[in-house]
Structure 1
Amino acid sequence: MALRHVIGVDHVMVLVRDLDAAAAAWRGLGFTVSPRGTHSAHMGSGNYTIMFGEDYLELLGVLVPTEHNAPMRAALARREGLDRVAFTTDDAAAGVAELQAKGIAATGPIAFGRPVELPGGGTAEARFQVFHWPQSARPAGLGLFACQHLTRENVWIPALQAHANGACRLLRIEVLAADPQAGAAELAGLVDRVAEPEADGAWRVASGAGRADFVFLDRATLAARHPDVSLDGLPQQGAAALVLGTTNLAAATAALGGAPAVPATRANGVLLRFIAV
Structure 2
Amino acid sequence: MALKNVIGIDHAVIMVKDLDKAAENYRRLGFTVSPRGTHSAHMGTGNYTIMFDPDYMELLGVLAATDQNAPARAFLDKRGEGIERIAFTAVDSTAGAEEIRARGLTPIGPTDFERPVTLPDGTVSAAKFRTFMWPTAEAPGGVRIFACQHKTRETVWIPELMKHANAAKRIKQILIATPEPAQDAAHLGQLIDRAPKADPDGALTVASGGDRADFVYLTLEQLGKRYPGVPLAGLAECGGAALVLVSGDLAATEKALGSAAVRSGPAVCVPPAKANGTLLAFIAD
What is the TM-score with the length of structure 2 in the denominator?
0.96
Alpha-carbon separation, structure 2, partners of 1:103 and 1:71? 22
Q: What do the CA deviations read for 1:174-196 (whole angstroms, capped 9, x no partner)?
A: 00011100010000000011111
Query: How far is the alpha carbon of 1:13 from its aligned partner?
Result: 0.3
Is the contact made by 2:174 and 2:213 (CA closer than 8 Å) also made in structure 1?
A: yes
Within a 5 Å distance, the mapping from 1:132-211 to structure 2 comes to: 132-211=133-212
* 1:272 and 2:280 correspond: yes
* 1:29 and 2:29 correspond: yes
Q: Structure 2 counterpart of 1:271, which letter?
A: L
Alpha-carbon separation, structure 2, partners of 1:70 and 1:222? 30
- For structure 1, which runs of at least 5 residues remain unmatched after alignment? none
Q: What do the CA deviations read for 1:28-62 (whole angstroms, capped 9, x no partner)?
A: 00000000000001111100000001100000001
Query: How far is the alpha carbon of 1:2 from its aligned partner?
Result: 1.9
Paired residues in the alignment total: 277
- Across the aligned residues of Structure 1 and Structure 2, the Cα RMSD in angstroms comes to 0.9
Is the contact made by 2:87 and 2:148 (CA closer than 8 Å) also made in structure 1?
A: yes
Counterpart position of 2:240: 239
Alpha-carbon separation, structure 1, partners of 2:182 and 2:166? 34
Q: What do the CA deviations read for 1:143-165 (whole angstroms, capped 9, x no partner)?
A: 00000000000000000000001
Q: What do the CA deviations read for 1:38-87 (whole angstroms, capped 9, x no partner)?
A: 00011111000000011000000011222222221121112110000000
Alpha-carbon separation, structure 2, partners of 1:18 and 1:226? 28
Alpha-carbon separation, structure 1, partners of 2:229 and 2:244? 14
Counterpart position of 2:59: 59
Alpha-carbon separation, structure 2, partners of 1:137 and 1:44? 23
Which stretches of structure 1, 4 residues or more, deviate above 2 A after TM superposition? none
Query: How far is the alpha carbon of 1:106 from its aligned partner?
Result: 1.8
Is the contact made by 1:11 and 1:58 (CA closer than 8 Å) also made in structure 2?
A: yes
Alpha-carbon separation, structure 2, partners of 1:40 and 1:216? 33
Alpha-carbon separation, structure 1, partners of 2:205 and 2:133? 22
Counterpart position of 1:38: 38
Is the contact made by 2:108 and 2:134 (CA closer than 8 Å) also made in structure 1?
A: yes
Secondary structure in 2 matching 1:256: helix
Is the contact made by 1:241 and 1:270 (CA closer than 8 Å) also made in structure 2?
A: yes
Secondary structure in 2 matching 1:7: strand
Q: Structure 1 counterpart of 2:19, which letter?
A: L
Counterpart position of 2:254: 253
Is the contact made by 2:109 and 2:132 (CA closer than 8 Å) also made in structure 1?
A: yes
Percent of aligned pairs with the same amino acid:
54
Secondary structure in 1 matching 2:252: helix
Q: Structure 2 counterpart of 1:251, which letter?
A: A
Counterpart position of 1:225: 226
Query: How far is the alpha carbon of 1:11 from its aligned partner?
Result: 0.3
Q: Structure 2 counterpart of 1:238, which letter?
A: G
Query: How far is the alpha carbon of 1:230 from its aligned partner?
Result: 0.4
Counterpart position of 2:265: none
Alpha-carbon separation, structure 1, partners of 2:245 and 2:148? 21
Query: How far is the alpha carbon of 1:3 from its aligned partner?
Result: 1.1
Is the contact made by 1:104 and 1:190 (CA closer than 8 Å) also made in structure 2?
A: no
Counterpart position of 2:217: 216
Alpha-carbon separation, structure 2, partners of 1:69 and 1:135? 12
Is the contact made by 2:219 and 2:237 (CA closer than 8 Å) also made in structure 1?
A: no
Q: Structure 2 counterpart of 1:22, which letter?
A: A
Secondary structure in 2 matching 1:71: helix
